[in-house]
Amino acid sequence: MTTEVTSARSGLGTAAVANLVGGALGAMVNLVLAALVGRHLGTEGSGVYFLVVAVFLIVANSAELGADTGLVRFVAATRALGRPQDTPQIVRTAVVPVLVGGAVVVALGIPLALTVAPSGLSPVVAVAAVPLTVLASLTALALGITRGAGDPLAFPLVQNILLPAGRMVAVGVAVLAGWGVSEVVAAWLLPVPLVLVVAAALAARHVTGGARPEGRSRTAYPGFWRFSAARGATACVEIVLEWVDVVIVGVFASPAEAGVYAVVTRCARAGEVVQQAARIAVGPAISAASARGDHALVGRLYGVVTAAMVWAAWPFYAVLAVFAEPVLGIFGDGFDSGAPSLRVLAAAMAVATAAGAVQSVLLMAGRSSWQLADKTGALALDVVLLLVLVPHWGIEGAAIAWAVTIVVDTAVVGYQVQVLMGVRPPWGPILWAAALPVVMVLVPSVLVAATWGTGAAVAAATTAALAVVYLTVGALLRRRLGLLDLVRLRGA
C-alpha cells in the first residue's frame, strides 16, 4: 500500500512547494501592483481600473469553456492509465471549440466595448482588450496541459511570477510617467501575448506525436466536454461571484467606494494563494487516484494538503484582521476606511481554508455538475444579500454578504465531499495546524494591538517577530502538523 501511495503521489510535494512559493510571490507582486495603482489613481481612479480588470477576467475565464481544467483531468488520467499517446487527441478536442468561441468573443465584444466602455477609458484600449481576453484563455489551456502532465513548475512560473511581474513593470512605467487610467490599463494588458508564447512552448513538450489512439476519436470529444462544459459554466459563475460585489458597490454607493472595496477584497483574496497552490498541486494526483477508484488515497491526499493549507494561510488572515488599518494604508489615502470589511472577510476566508482542497476533490472526482450547482446557488445568495445590505451599509454590507456566501458554500461542499462521497481526512494534523496560528499569531497580535495600538511600525515589527517564532515552532512540530509527510513527497 505504501509503494502504491507513493507512486500515485509522485511529485506532489514538489508541486505543492513550487506552487506555494510561486503563488506567494505572485500575490505579493499583485498587492504591490494594487498599491501602485491606488496611490497613483486614488480611490475613484482605482474603481475604474478594477472595473476594467473585472470585465477582462470575467470574459477571459468564461472563454476558456472549462477546457483548462478538463485538460488537467484528462491528460493526468490518460497518463495514469498508461495511454500518454492520447494527449494530442485530448488537446485537439479542447482547443478547437475554444478558438471558435474566441472568434465569437471578438466579433461581439469589439462593438460592445465601444458602447459600454467606462468614462475615462480610451476606446482604443477598450477594443484592444477584447482579443487579448482570448489570448489569456489560450494561455490557461496551455498551462492546463502542463499541469495534467505533472509539470510542477510551469504554472507557478508563468501565471504566478512571469505575468504579475510583467504587469508590475509595465504599470510601474506608466505610473512613473504620470499617465492616466487608459495608459495604466493598457500597461496591465501588455504582457498577455508574451505569456501565451511562453506557456505554449512549455505545453508543446508534453504534446508528443505517436500512434493515433484506437477507438478514442469518437468518444474523447463527448467525454471531455461533458466534464468541461459544466466546469466552464462553473468558472463563469465563480469569476462573476468574485467581482459582482465590486460592481454593485459602484452602482449603489460610488466609484470611490468601489475602489476601496476592490482593494479590500484583493487583500483578503491574497491568502487564496495557499488554496490555489494546493488545488494545482493535488489536482492531478487526485484525478489519477479517482481514475483507479482509490478513494482511500484521495482521502489521504486531501488530509495532507488541508493541514498544510491551514498552517500556511491562517497566520496571514490573523494579521489582516488585527492590523487591517495599516495594511490598507499601504494602498494610499482613504483606503483604510475599509478596515471593518477586511476583518469580516479575513474571518470568512479562514473558514474556507479550513475546509481544505474540497473543490479539487469534488472536481477531480468528476463531480463538476455538483460544483456548478454549488457555485450557482452561492452566486444567487450573494447577489440577493448584496442588493439588500449594500444600499443600507455600503461596503460593510458587501463584506457581510460575501462572508455569509463563503461560509455557506464551504459548508455545502464540505458536506458533499465528506458525507456524500465519503472522503474524510485524518483530523489530527489538521487540528494541530489550526491551533498553532491561533496561539502563536492571533492571540499575541491582539495583545500587542491592545497595548501599543495598530500603527504601521507596530504592525511590521509584530508580524516579523511572530513570523520567526511561528516558523521555528512549526519546524519543531512538523511531524504533528503533517508537514513532514508533505516534504517527503518531494521527488517521491
Q: At what angle do helices 456-476 and 295-322 cross, to 10 degrees?
A: 150
Residue 130: strand, helix, or coil: helix
Which of these, 230, 229, 357, lies nearest to 283 by C-alpha position? 357
Tell me the CB-side half-sphere exposure of residue 484, using CA atoms within 13 A.
8
426: amino acid identity, one letter: P
Grid cell 466546469 is found at: 231
For the four alpha carbons of 247, 249, 250 and 255, in that order, the dihedral sign comes to negative
Cα(272)–Cα(292) distance, rounded to whole angstroms? Answer: 30
**Residue 166: per-residue pLDDT:** 94
Is the pLDDT score of 490 beyond 50? no
Alpha-carbon distance values, 326 to 36, 202, 329, 463 (Å):
16, 40, 5, 12
Residue 202: partners with Cβ closer than 8 Å, 6 or more residues away: 142, 143, 146, 151, 154, 158
**Residue 86: per-residue pLDDT:** 78
Instruction: Dump pLDDT digits (tens) for 399-423.
Output: 999 999 999 999 999 999 888 888 8
Distance of CA 186 to the CA centre of its chain: 23
Residue 479: partners with Cβ closer than 8 Å, 6 or more residues away: none
Q: DSSP assignment, residue 490?
A: T
Is the pLDDT score of 121 beyond 50? yes
Start-end of H helices in 271-394? 273-291, 295-322, 324-329, 339-354, 358-364, 368-393
Cβ(257)–Cβ(394) under 8 Å?
Answer: yes
Indicate the pLDDT class of residue 7, thresholds 50, 70 and 90: very low
23-27, 224-228, 301-305, 389-393: least confident range? 23-27
Q: Is the pTM of this model over 0.95?
A: no
125: amino acid identity, one letter: V
Cα(433)–Cα(474) distance, rounded to whole angstroms? Answer: 9
Indicate the pLDDT class of residue 4, thresholds 50, 70 and 90: very low
Cα(413)–Cα(359) distance, rounded to whole angstroms? Answer: 7
Instruction: Dump pLDDT digits (tens) for 360-399.
Output: 788 777 787 788 889 899 999 999 999 999 999 999 999 9
Please report, to the nearest 10 degrees, the dihedral formed by the alpha carbons of residues 174, 179, 182, 183 taken in order.
Answer: -30
Residue 408: partners with Cβ closer than 8 Å, 6 or more residues away: 378, 381
| Higher local confidence (pLDDT), 112 or 223 | 112
Instruction: Dump pLDDT digits (tens) for 32-72.
Output: 898 999 999 988 888 889 888 988 998 999 999 989 988 98
Please report, to the nearest 10 degrees, the dihedral formed by the alpha carbons of residues 280, 314, 464, 453 taken in order.
Answer: 140
Which of these, 229, 220, 204, 222, lies nearest to 77 by C-alpha position? 220
Alpha-carbon distance values, 66 to 138, 152, 234, 457 (Å):
11, 21, 8, 45
**Residue 224: per-residue pLDDT:** 87
Cβ(23)–Cβ(277) under 8 Å?
Answer: yes
SS3 content of the chain, % helix, strand, coil (to 5): 85, 0, 15
Is the pLDDT score of 168 beyond 60? yes
Instruction: Annotate 438-463 with three-state secondary structure.
Output: HHHHHHHHHHHHHHHCCCHHHHHHHH
Q: Where are the domains of the chain?
A: 2-208+217-488
Distance of CA 45 to the CA centre of its chain: 25
**Residue 15: per-residue pLDDT:** 60
Is the pLDDT score of 271 beyond 90? no
Instruction: Dump pLDDT digits (tens) for 308-318.
Output: 889 989 999 99
Cβ(62)–Cβ(194) under 8 Å?
Answer: no
Alpha-carbon distance values, 346 to 22, 64, 73, 298, 378 (Å):
22, 30, 31, 29, 18
Tell me the CB-side half-sphere exposure of residue 105, using CA atoms within 13 A.
27
Cα(361)–Cα(280) distance, rounded to whole angstroms? Answer: 11
Tell me the Ramachandran region of residue 293: left when phi exceeds 0, alpha when psi lies from -120 to 50, beta otherwise: left
Cα(218)–Cα(243) distance, rounded to whole angstroms? Answer: 38
For the beta carbon of residue 293, count every other beta carbon within 10 angstroms.
Answer: 9
Grid cell 487610467 is found at: 181
**Residue 286: per-residue pLDDT:** 74
Cα(233)–Cα(454) distance, rounded to whole angstroms? Answer: 43
Which of these, 469, 465, 489, 475, lies nearest to 2 by C-alpha position? 489
**Residue 275: per-residue pLDDT:** 75
Q: DSSP assignment, residue 153?
A: S
Is the pLDDT score of 174 beyond 70? yes
**End-to-end alpha-carbon separation of the chain, Å?**
15
Grid cell 513527497 is found at: 489
